[in-house]
């Protein structure tokens, strides 16, 4: 039996988004995880919309984890969203929508809550950031000691080559490159290390029709949690289907799976820098893997995943709680 002392302690920073929901649900379902709090950042859609998604997801599941609103805009640039891909609210569904019931937010700002939680549990909390890094950068600037108090920093974002928002930039980094640059600058100060899960590794974890069917099979009737979740997974995969693909990358669940089963992944030390000035390369994560010969590493970059094992574990984990 997992004891409280043995649990992995996590703070989640997110911008729901279906794959964010999937990642969050895995954390809530895993008995080996203690989730201290969730801060929401503008990203997949403007802050009011992703906040509403988070509040309705939270209420649907009846979770107890406290929930805060975070940053509503990037540090410097104009806001970029993924609404052109994910729909106006950032959550597509092929059937049932989220129920309207919404969990109230905690008072105060998510950045302050993140700082307070890490300070209260020095050396114990891993910060899992699966949206733009605005909240994390603001927290590091407001509390300069914070990186040194973390157990680890895990980021879903970036790529080693091609992007998904521009030819070279991944969405979470492109949505606030200045924040990402500041976070990677502080990454070496995190005692337990910083890990980046970029496009290449996340695309090795694919969700398809069989996973939708397995989750629908857990439903006890129309409109229950399993049915609503499966319809949103189906809607998310539908974006890929319209592009001629039978499955879709499960971006945000990928680092959650690493937290639970690091043996399914290969990571490589790297120097990660964020391009801020290039006319065509803004938001690119430049990953120098030739360390220490060419650079001093500031992170580990995930390069390979056993995607079938990840998805089998994720579906089974959720079938037990939906």
The pLDDT value recorded for residue 3 is 46
If one counts the domains in the chain, the total is 1
Q: Domain residues for 275?
A: 4-319
Residue 311 has phi, psi (to 5 degrees) of -70, -40
Q: Which residue has the tokens 């993924």?
A: 82
CA–CA distances in Å: residue 68 to residues 71, 212, 228, 289: 10, 30, 24, 36
Tens digits of pLDDT across the chain (322 residues): 444 457 899 999 999 999 999 999 999 999 999 999 999 999 999 999 999 999 999 999 999 999 999 999 999 999 999 999 999 999 999 999 999 999 999 999 999 999 999 999 999 999 999 999 999 999 999 999 999 999 999 999 999 999 999 999 999 999 999 999 999 999 999 999 999 999 999 999 999 999 999 999 999 888 899 999 999 999 999 999 999 999 999 999 999 999 999 999 999 999 999 999 999 999 999 999 999 999 999 999 999 999 999 999 999 999 989 8
Peptide bond into 17 cis (omega under 30): yes
Which positions ≥6 away from 35 have C-beta within 8 Å? 10, 11, 12, 27, 28, 65
How would DSSP label each residue in 82-103? -HHHH-TTS---SSPPPPS--P
The pLDDT value recorded for residue 6 is 72
Q: How many Å apart are CA 95 and CA 205, to the nearest integer?
A: 24
Please report, for the domain that includes residue 269, its CATH number.
3.90.245.10
Q: How many Å apart are CA 207 and CA 319, to the nearest integer?
A: 15
């Amino acid at each position: 039996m997992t004891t409280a002392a043995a649990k992995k302690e996590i703070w989640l920073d997110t911008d729901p988004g279906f794959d964010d929901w999937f990642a969050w649900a895995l954390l809530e379902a895993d008995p080996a995880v203690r989730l201290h709090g969730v801060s929401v950042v503008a990203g997949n859609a403007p802050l009011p919309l992703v906040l509403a998604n988070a509040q309705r997801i939270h209420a649907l599941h009846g979770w107890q984890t406290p929930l805060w609103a975070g940053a509503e805009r990037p540090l410097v640039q104009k806001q970029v969203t993924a609404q052109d891909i994910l729909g106006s609210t950032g959550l597509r569904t092929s059937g049932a929508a989220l129920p309207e019931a919404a969990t109230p937010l905690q008072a105060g700002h998510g950045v302050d809550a993140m700082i307070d939680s890490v300070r209260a549990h020095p050396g114990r909390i891993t910060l899992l950031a699966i949206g733009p890094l605005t909240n994390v950068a603001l927290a590091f600037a407001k509390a300069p000691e914070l990186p040194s108090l973390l157990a680890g920093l895990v980021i879903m974002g970036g790529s080693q080559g091609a992007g998904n928002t521009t030819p070279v930039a991944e969405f979470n980094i492109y949505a606030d490159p200045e924040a990402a640059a500041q976070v990677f600058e502080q990454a070496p100060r995190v005692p337990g290390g910083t890990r980046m899960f970029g496009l290449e590794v996340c695309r090795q974890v694919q969700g398809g029709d069989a996973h939708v069917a397995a989750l629908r099979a857990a439903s006890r009737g129309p409109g229950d949690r399993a049915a609503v979740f499966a319809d949103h997974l189906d809607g998310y995969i539908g974006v890929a289907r319209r592009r001629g693909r039978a499955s879709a990358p499960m971006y945000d669940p990928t680092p959650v799976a690493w937290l639970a089963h690091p043996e399914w992944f290969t990571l490589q030390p790297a120097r990660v820098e964020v391009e801020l000035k290039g006319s065509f390369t803004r938001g690119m994560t430049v990953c120098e893997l030739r360390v220490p010969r060419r650079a001093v590493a500031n992170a580990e970059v995930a390069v390979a995943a056993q995607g079938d094992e990840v998805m089998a574990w994720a579906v089974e984990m959720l079938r037990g709680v939906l």
